[in-house]
A and B are shown apart, each in its own frame.
Chain A
Amino acid sequence: GIQVEQSPPDLILQEGANSTLRCNFSDSVNNLQWFHQNPWGQLINLFYIPSGTKQNGRLSATTVATERYSLLYISSSQTTDSGVYFCAVEQSGGGADGLTFGKGTHLIIQP
C-alpha cells in the first residue's frame, strides 16, 4: 500500500515562531488532508488539499502532487497550536476507501 512519511517527528518552538511540516507519499493520490489532534485527542480537519495551495488564517498548505509531497506552514505560532499534526492520503479520491495516515509531527509551542 501507499506509504506516508512525515517530518520532523517532533518540533519544539517558542511562541511567535514559524514552522514548516512536511509530508511525503509514495504514490499518486487524489485526496490529501491535514489534521490537527489536540491534547484531548480530537482530530480537526485543517485542509483538504490534493493539489495547489490553500490558506486559512495563520495556516497554509501546499501540495505538489507531481513530486508527491505536501507542506503545512504555521506562522506566528501560539500555544494552542500544540498537538500532533497528521497528513493523510487516499489514492482513489472521493473519500470512500478511508485514509492512510502518516505517523504525525508532534509540535510543542512554548510560551
Chain B
Amino acid sequence: DVKVTQSSRYLVKRTGEKVFLECVQDMDHENMFWYRQDPGLGLRLIYFSYDVKMKEKGDIPEGYSVSREKKERFSLILESASTNQTSMYLCASTDFLGTQYFGPGTRLLVL
C-alpha cells in the first residue's frame, strides 16, 4: 500500500513564525503536491514538484515556499505565518498513472 505521512496532525503557531510542514512518501513517486483545504473553497493547489530540486507554483503559492531535497520528502514552508494561513494542509503523491494518494493532513492554527 502507498503510504504518505505528514509530520504533524495538529499544529499551533504564532503570527510571524516560520513554519515547516513535512511530507514523506514511500512509493518512489516522482510527483508530489501540497494543497490547502478551507470551508467553502475546497482543495486548492499551492505548489508541486515533479523531481528532486524542482518545483512549480500551483494556484495559490503566495506566502509559501517548498523544498524537495530528496525524492521521498516534500516540505512546505510558511516564511512568516499569518492568520489567513490557518487551514488544513494536505500532501499528496501520484503514481505513474496519475492516481493521487493523500497524507492524513495537518490542521494548522495561526494565532
Contact = CB atoms under 8 A, between A and B. Distances in A.
Given A41-B107, A43-B90, A96 B50 contact: yes
A84 B74 CA distance: 26
Interface of B: 31, 33, 35, 40, 42-45, 48, 50, 58-59, 88, 90, 92, 94-102, 104-105, 107
* Interface range on chain A (Cβ under 8 Å from partner): 20 to 34
Contacts of B43: 86, 88, 99, 101
A103 B104 CA distance: 19
A99 B105 contact: no
A95 B95 contact: yes
Interface string A98-109: 111111100000
A99 B45 contact: yes
Contact of A95 (B58, B100, B105): B100
A41 B101 CA distance: 13
A93 B99 CA distance: 10
Nearest to A32: B98
B94 A43 contact: no
Interface of A: 1, 30-31, 33, 35, 40-45, 48, 86, 88, 90, 93-104
16 contacts: A41-B88, A41-B104, A43-B92, A43-B102, A48-B97, A86-B43, A90-B98, A94-B96, A95-B95, A95-B97, A95-B98, A96-B48, A96-B98, A101-B42, A101-B43, A103-B42
